[in-house]
Each structure stands twice: as C-alpha cells, then as structure tokens.
Amino acid sequence: MKKLNSKGQSLVEFTIVLPIILVLILGLLEFGLILNSYITINTISRNGARLASVGASDLEINQELIIDAPNIDFNKVTVTISPNESDRLRGESVRVDILYKYNVNIPFINLIIGSEVDLKSSNSMRIE
C-alpha cells in the first residue's frame, strides 16, 4: 500500500474548522462583556434603591449611579425611580429600574445576536 500525504487533508480540515472556532471564542468574549455590563447595572440599581430608601433625591441618585459605573455609557441608560420624590412615604417601597442598551462590540457576533442588547435590572427597598 502506498502511504498518502496527509498535509493537504490537514490544511483543508483546519480551514473548515477555524472559522467555527473563532466565532465560538469571539462569542464567549462578547458574552463576558455583556455579563460584566449586566452585573454593573444590577449593582447600580441596588445602590440607587438603597440611596432612595434613605432619602436621597433623584438627582443625587443619578449622580451617584454615574460615579459607580464608569464603564457604562450613561447616554444609553434609562433610570426610572418610582414613586416620585414627593410621594415617597416611610415604610413604603421605592423601586429603581435601569434599562441599558448595550452595543455589541465584536464583529460577526452582531450578525448572530443583533447590534444592540437590552439589559434590564430593577431593585426595590423599603423607605426608612
């Protein structure tokens, strides 16, 4: 039997498998970035609810949220605090909702999951 040269076969297999492996690695990287942003908005919504529960104004809460999340683009963040400042009563609960429109950064992944991902977080606490 003749021994066949397998160099060409290996090159073809590598060429077929490489794009799949790259997409998987890039997808994992993008998922990690999205998860980091979600954890950040969850943390700042909890901090915002805590500030609102101890009597901070909406302006103070928004300023503190910006300070607490330097890696978030606040032009794409919607913060909703309910009830309004004037309607908050001791013993009732206050709720902070955050919507962040995350832009997918890695090429080709945006073709799979879209160019924007909505990340939402809400926390509520009893007003002290």
82-125 pLDDT, tens digit per residue, is 888 788 788 888 999 999 999 988 887 878 888 899 999 999 99
What is the residue whose two structure tokens read 């919607």? 78
Q: What is the pTM of this model?
A: 0.81
* β-bridge mates for residue 93, sequence order: 126
Q: How far apart are CA 34 and CA 12, in angstroms?
A: 34
Q: What percent of the chain has pLDDT over 70?
A: 95
Look at residues 65, 77, 66, 81 and name the one whose alpha carbon lies nearest to residue 103.
77
C-alpha of 80 from chain center:
17
Structure tokens at 46: 């909890």
Residue type, 55: G
